[in-house]
Structure 1
């Protein structure tokens, strides 16, 4: 009687435990030990490397997406598709002909032709139409961390990032392209594929960001996509280089695509809006969101403010506004979670700036005052708050954004003068707790140090509103080496 190899006598739990200690190449070899091992590892392999994947708008990368979508098993596991702003470049010893030669040899289109002929959109339509469990479509300009299997410095990169890299001393460098046309392409592809994911998530840590042009996508083919969205996460900057100099009418036309986009997302439950510091676009958009809902039809470029009855989570980041506008937005909706990150509040004059009461103190007091005793707000956080001082004592958001001095605001741990200071404050509802009481109490612990100019336009620091997104990055698989072509 033949005896089984020692590996096959081990219970499945131990096989999985052994596989968890291997690097990606080692895991590939381990899966090929025998058919029984492959069967035992297949489900965990598919969950780890095919639940969430990242692709570029490049022919070899999109071809991989289509191939995964056609796979009878992997297509069912793929629930999140990330599109990166990466594009392939060749930098081996300054030889810029390597990439074109590699693309031509493989029969692939160059990126420009892929986009301008509409072939990129067609490939996305084909892929999206074959992903039955697609829940999230994302857009990002960075590689995910936490690829723990391959070491602390390993990243989840876009599929195909090493295409054409045949030389041992050659390193592929991916350049960044503008995300502005990518969001419309994704939404139109989803609409054409009759796919209705529940989440659209945009995480951009570099420049440029989305502009209002990116949201000019409201059409018959895209409306079902927008109406099905439950989570919308965006990062927006003005498209006009001299936005602050625009007239009021020009401003309204400038904001129109964003307003119409949000107008067509009535089912949204979680909304995240990141803007850019020192721009008035965020203040204007918040002013519109905080307006009372009007049933009176409005002529363009005016769009009635939104009800958003399902909205429960609102995240706002990297923006300048005033106390009244921010309070009106937070008090309007039936929110359960609020996150504020790198928000700058306007200050009227220097005397107020030098006093004990900060704008953030007044914000917390005002919000506590307008919230009802039965408010459903269960989680609240504020991180890296700042306060603006304008030397000419002009109570205008436009003057605040032009040449304003900024001052950090901190939160004391207790009410003593020498209490440790923190740049974040958070609340989570518990038995016997009250959001109104917490807001009143944190208002008393808000503290400002002596004046020191700061610069919030430096993008070297990650956007704090994106911290939670990085936690899940180890569930995605983006390297072409991860794919077993024999599956």
Structure 2
């Protein structure tokens, strides 16, 4: 075009132009790209990297339709990280009789728009249109590596000072047209019996299962190897892991080839089912979850976060992880005759060998040191990277409180003696808690979150800061020989002797983010 030769921007070196464009707002940056075709070509790589490497969408006709359009465009090869948000149009409030007549046209239009979006969303999820759109998009994204499920918006959008968050595509438009925020499913703690929370549990489960179905259907064309569920206001319920038999042929092949899996779990993840364990009938917490995990035989990287979980809730899952394939539940016991009635009860699925598991991240859990050590020993041949975030050691011995034993230093001392071949250790907000005089063990376990705890602080020889440091990272290739520096850096700021029996310890401030979720 003739106008290309007239643009003064073409005389500016590209690196200078990119530096200048970094100060522009999103709209001004778009206008700059439209100055001329040659300038658009010069900025294309930088623009694509910033806006089309990682994108977030929600379950709506408008948002998923845009994802399909992108998957058919020149930007499709650049998209490597796709995020599905679980936010949705809220249920429109019922209008009182005296408000049936709107005097404000804009208010009337916004109310109608919110109702239209809600009905459109209901039609989308009840007809299977959402599955169709997501599957079509996945088939057209040749370089997609990671797909995630989230209930929050990430920060880091530096161009627009008024809003520095990356929203799901379509979310700002919905707010602008209705003046209402999208509903972000929230549930947590132990109050899971209300109808609203039950509706949200069902929706989160539906979206997760719909994603798995789309990934399974698109597998022959292309399949990402990383599935990241990062949730801050809710967690995956047990219903989400219940893959019906008629969908196993679609979903299981995808799970079998999955290499990275992040799961945010909570109390609703561990529903109880009665199982047949060698002729013994017993309640088992989290059967759908361990059945789901039993299909992920190729994992190289596993992250498990446990939000607000009681110690007893997670125990069945953790014990399942450390079982070797030869000793897993479900084997026939000699002398036990299995009748047809017994076969109607489910059995614990066999634990995979997980022989490729290189990185294991565990967060937000209270656990016994011996159990955590057994988990690491189970994966010792392949394990190279471990991460612990907001993990609390609990013991029932009061003597170790009086003796001021640092459980974490002792733990890593045992790891060194066992000659783990580790290359990276990431630790943050570690604690230890003890049963205290005057409390029974049963009372202590029930009140575990309100009992006094002792946080692990880390000394850094290279820093003179007096501020406490509650996180550290170790890297190396000989943990047995160099573990001493890590262990020596761990210390507990014990209270005075007279305060040891009192609940006077103040824990450090901790943010609620997942383990390195960005």
TM bucket, shorter chain: 0.7 to 0.9
Give, in angstroms, the shift of residue 16 of structure 1: 2.3
Between Structure 1 and Structure 2, how many residues are aligned?
A: 452
State the partner residue of 2:390: 342
State the SS of the aligned residue for 2:366: strand
Q: In structure 2, do the counterparts of structure 1 residues 400 and 319 end up closer, same or farther at CA, with 3 Å as the change threshold?
A: farther
Aligned to 2:66: 64
Equivalent position SS for 1:86? coil
Task: Output the CA distance in 2 between the equivalents of 1:5 and 1:45.
Answer: 19
Give me the TM-score of the superposition, normalised by structure 1: 0.82
Contact 2:135–2:214 at 8 Å: present in 1 too?
A: yes
What residue in structure 1 maps to residue 193 of structure 2?
none
Q: CA 1:190–1:101 in 2, change beyond 3 Å: closer, same or farther?
A: same
Tell me how far 1:149 sits from its aligned partner.
Answer: 2.2
Residues 1:101 and 2:113 aligned together = yes
SS in 1 for 2:392: strand
Q: Distance in 2 between matches of 1:442 and 1:306?
A: 36
The match for 1:199 is 226
Gaps of 5+ in 2: 94-101, 186-199, 332-345
Kindly state the Cα deviation for residue 287 of structure 1 after the two structures are TM-superposed: 2.0
Q: Which has the larger radius of gyration?
A: 2
Q: Does 1:332 align with 2:340?
A: no
Give, in whole Å, the separation in 1 of the partners of 2:63 and 2:140. 17
TM-score scaled by structure 2? Answer: 0.77
Deviations 1:88-142 (A, max 9, x none): 34799996872643674x9x95222211221111111111111111111101111
| Displacement after TM superposition at 1:4 (Å) | 3.4
User: What residue is the counterpart of 1:377 in the other structure?
Assistant: 422
1:52-104 deviations in whole A, cap 9, x for unaligned? 11011112111111111122x11111111101121234799996872643674
Match of 2:125 in 1: 115
Query: Could you report, residue by residue, the CA deviation over 1:335-358 in whole angstroms, capped at 9, with x for unpaired residues?
Result: 111111111211214343343113
CA contact (8 A) 2:238 2:271 kept: no
2:181 aligned with 1:181: no
- 8 Å CA contact 2:460–2:489 kept in 1: the answer is no
**Structure 1 position 221 matched with structure 2 position 266:** no
The superposition leaves residues 216-267 of structure 1 with CA deviations (integer Å, 9 ceiling, x where unpaired) of 23711012211221111110113279879x9996642x42222122221122
Q: Which has the higher contact order (CA 8 A, sep 6+)?
A: 1
SS of 2:205 mapped into structure 1:
coil
Runs of at least 5 residues in structure 1 that lack an aligned partner in the other structure: 471-487
Q: Which residue of 1 aligns with 2:137?
A: 127
Displacement, 1:325?
0.4
Q: Write the mapping of 1:445-464 to structure 2, written as runs, cut at 5 A.
A: 445-449=491-495, 451-452=503-504, 461-464=511-514
